[in-house]
Each structure stands twice: as C-alpha cells, then as structure tokens.
Chains A and B, each alone.
Chain A
Amino acid sequence: MNYYLWPALFILISVVMGLIRILRGPTAADRMLAAQLFGTGGVAILLILAQAMQMPSLVDVALIYALLAAVTMVVFVRRQWGNHENERKMKDESH
C-alpha cells in the first residue's frame, strides 16, 4: 500500500478516541459534538483516500458529508435540544 494511508489511519484513530465522549458525555449535546468530530474527521479521511487511491469521486462523497454535517447539527438543536419547553412536557430525563 502507499504511504498516504498513514495520515488517514492516524486521523481515524483520533476520531475513534473522540467517540469515547459518546459513552461518557453528560448532556445530549456532548454526544452530538462527538458526531460532529466524526463528520470533520471523516471528510479529512475521505480527502486523503481520494489522493491515495486515485479515486476523484471520493471528493464528491466528502462534499456530501460536509453538507450533511451542517444539516445534522441544525436539526438537532432546532428540533430536539434547543426547545426544552417541549422536552419538559415529554418528561425526557436526558437533560
């Protein structure tokens, strides 16, 4: 294999390390932050893979990933975590 894959591997290790926050994080927003870390790291890994494996279509995949990460966070805050008046009505315990 070619040596461009080593940076991708190290970034993947750091992303997996950040996923521990999903297990521990006290609030739901902490867990979503780990998901956003996965988004950023995933875009970086895809860009490196596009270089390493000479597959230019992976750049398009990274673009879709970046756009979806934005939509995910906005939907999470606007519909779930932001309006906690609704949440109190639903008796959600997850702070």
Chain B
Amino acid sequence: MSLTDLLGTFMLLLAIPFFWGGSLGLLRFPDIYTRLHALTKADNLGLGLVVAGSILMSKEWTVGVKLLLIWLAVLVASTISCYLIANAARKRKITPWKIP
C-alpha cells in the first residue's frame, strides 16, 4: 500500500464526520435558514474530501479532472439552490429563528 493510497483513505475517513454533522444539523436546527446553512456547507466539504481522496487514489489524471468537475457541479448546485430557497422563504415571510 503506497503513501498516496494511505492519504486517500485518510481523507475518505475524514469525510465521514462532515456528513454526520450535516445530517445532524438538518435534524436539529430550528428553522429553514439554519438548516440550509448546515446542508450546503458541511456536506459539500465532506464531498470535497471524498473527491480529494478519490483523486489521490485514481490512476489516470483524466479521472481526476472528471472528479473535480463533479465537485464543481455540486458546489454550483448547492449555492444556487441555497440562494433560491432562502429568497423564496423570505418572500413567504418566514421569520428567521431568534434565541428565545
């Protein structure tokens, strides 16, 4: 087992806490704005770690470029959807959560 494989496996393992954090945030945060925050940040960082680990373990550089494109597509998608949902929620006059 080479060093890059070891580093890639470490990154895959490091991605798991971010996914768990995203799911816990989605379950426990009080309103839609904070849930957007949990989902679009933590999960994309976890996916970035998975992509980085896969790039380290991939054998051809073209596969690495494709993996980077996938991460870019997911980042763009989550950014756009976060803006659209927050904007629609504001138009519906859903008030942001405040510390009671």
B94 at the interface (CB under 8 A from A): yes
State which size class the interface on A falls in: 35 or more
- Min Cβ gap A81→B in Å is 5
Residues on B lying within 8 angstroms of A by beta carbon are 9, 12-13, 15-16, 19-20, 22-24, 26-27, 32, 35-36, 39, 43-44, 46-47, 50-51, 54, 57-58, 63, 66-67, 69-70, 73-74, 76-78, 80-81, 84-85, 87-89, 91-92, 94
Q: Is the interface of A mostly helix, strand, loop or mixed?
A: helix
Contacting pair A37 B22 (CB below 8 A): yes
Other-chain residue from B9, B47, B91 in contact with A44 (beta carbon distance below 8 A): B47
Chain A residues with CB below 8 A from B89, complex form? 27, 29
Contacting pair B77 A29 (CB below 8 A): no
Other-chain residue from A29, A40, A51 in contact with B54 (beta carbon distance below 8 A): A51
Of the A-B pairs whose beta carbons lie under 8 Å apart in the complex, a sample of 29, sorted by A's number, is A4-B12, A7-B12, A11-B50, A14-B20, A15-B19, A17-B20, A17-B24, A21-B27, A21-B35, A27-B89, A29-B85, A33-B36, A36-B78, A36-B81, A37-B39, A40-B47, A40-B78, A41-B19, A44-B46, A47-B50, A47-B51, A48-B50, A48-B54, A50-B54, A63-B73, A69-B74, A77-B85, A82-B87, A84-B92
User: Looking across the interface, which residue of chain A has its beta carbon closest to that of B72?
Assistant: A66
